[in-house]
Chain A
Amino acid sequence: MRAEPATAVMTPVIAPVASVVDELADTVTLALDMPVGLAMPTPGQFAMLWVPGIGEIPVSYSGIGPDRRVEHTVRAVGATSAALAELGPGEPIGVRGPLGRGWRLDDLIDREVLVFAGGLGLAPLRPVVEAAGDLGARAVRLRVGARGPGHVLYAEQIVSRWGDLDPVVTVDHADGRWRGPVGPLRADLGGAIPEPGEVAALVCGPEIMMQVLARQLEQAGVPRDRIQLSLERNMQCGVGHCGHCQLGPLFACVDGPVVGWDVAGPLLAVRER
């Protein structure tokens, strides 16, 4: 049965930007105070962010709490995301959310958790990473892939805040100053998976990366239903009405964005026309 969206509103609630952090050359994190009347999100959910006169796009929560403060990390690639990235403190945006299904955190209890994030995919995973000590997992390990050394999202936090998660960052291309691995994000980055039957994996990033990683994890022996992916689709209404984000029988906005590889794998194998 399909879950009802946390809020079925089609009318954005206006909220001012509380603060802005420059993350990368084209990427910022916007902090907002969750408007009264909207539920607090769970990790992996998203909101539709509206810039009046320009457009509305889905953006994952990259920070949750405390004190009803939430964050969204936005990369300027289109008109709306570029407008969001230009906002300053105090400027208003429209918010609909939280929407969709987030990470299944109960599946992480007493598991060896591997977190794989590629590019901006670390944003929806950051609330999980920040709460790693409270998940009930045996261990949480962080594996990150990026285009190059200058494209590693939250690079300073990986070092200063998440060092306990045995973080390993790989980049596709490097220069002589980079001291980490070079090459694509792989399931065995940082070493072979010792107990694949005990692993739960969270994967977020470009779809090609997620498919490759999920297949590698499956081949290593990680159960398909314990590999969670965060799908990115063309979400427009965000509440399962418009069908733009349809993936086979799923609507990514309400059945996802987080979906198990056991469900998503066969659907992603179907070529789109």
Chain B
Amino acid sequence: MDEPTDRIRPAEAGLVDELVANPLLGDLPREHLALISGCCINVGFTAGERIINAGDPADDFWIIRHGLVDIEIHGAGRGTITIDRLGPGDLLGVSWIAEPYVNEFDATAIERGSAIRVDAACLRGKCDEDHVLGYELYRRFATMLRRRLQATRLQLVDIYGPDDAR
């Protein structure tokens, strides 16, 4: 993986620079970022736009550049409950990473924003071809998933419940 960076085409360079700025992916070698950028396009979203529908195929994920996106659950009689809120730098969508590649939750933009949309099927193919890229990418996603799992467990505990009687 010592491909010189001058092979990166100008059209990709802007996306690579965007990826360099991401705290989770930015330290990947530039040639890996170039490979990822080949699966990326810039997109915008409007306030209230549904970005992910639960149950749909997880064919994409997003690297949020601007704006806020809610991860939501709906319950009869409980309405819409926001369980996580993602903002600039966050990665939206994790179901693409493991079978059955189906989204589990809805995601809705709560304000106008922009993101890099990554074609997950394209990226999975590149990871299959380049296991070093695959390993580095999955390692970083594992770090993110660990953090979100810890947060979810703390939410499950309901630490501010009645026992918090201070």
Residues of A whose CB lies within 8 Å of any CB of B are: 60, 75, 77-78, 81, 118-121, 123-124, 145-147, 151, 172-176, 178-184, 186, 204-206, 208-209, 212, 232
Contact = CB atoms under 8 A, between A and B. Distances in A.
B81 A175 contact: yes
Interface centre among A75, A151, A184, A212 (most CB of B within 10 A): A184
Interface residues of B, number: 25
Contact of B85 (A146, A182, A204): A182
B154 A176 contact: no
B66 to A, nearest CB: 15
B90 to A, nearest CB: 11
Contacts of B159: 118-119, 184, 205-206, 208-209
B166 A212 contact: no
Interface of B: 68, 70, 79-85, 87, 110, 150-151, 154-155, 157-166
A119 B68 CA distance: 24
Contacts of B157: 208
Contact of A183 (B81, B151, B162, B165): B151
Given A119-B160, A181-B85, A175 B79 contact: yes
A64 B107 CA distance: 45
A120 B157 CA distance: 16
A204 B80 CA distance: 30
A175 B78 CA distance: 10
B165 A174 contact: no
Contacts of B154: 172, 184, 208-209, 212
Nearest to B154: A184
Interface centre among B80, B85, B163 (most CB of A within 10 A): B85
A174 B155 contact: no
A122 to B, nearest CB: 9
A119 B81 contact: no
Contacts of A178: 82
Contacts of B163: 77, 206
Interface centre among A75, A77, A172 (most CB of B within 10 A): A172
A121 B87 CA distance: 27
Nearest to A148: B160
B74 to A, nearest CB: 12
Contacts of A174: 70, 81-82, 85
A197 to B, nearest CB: 21
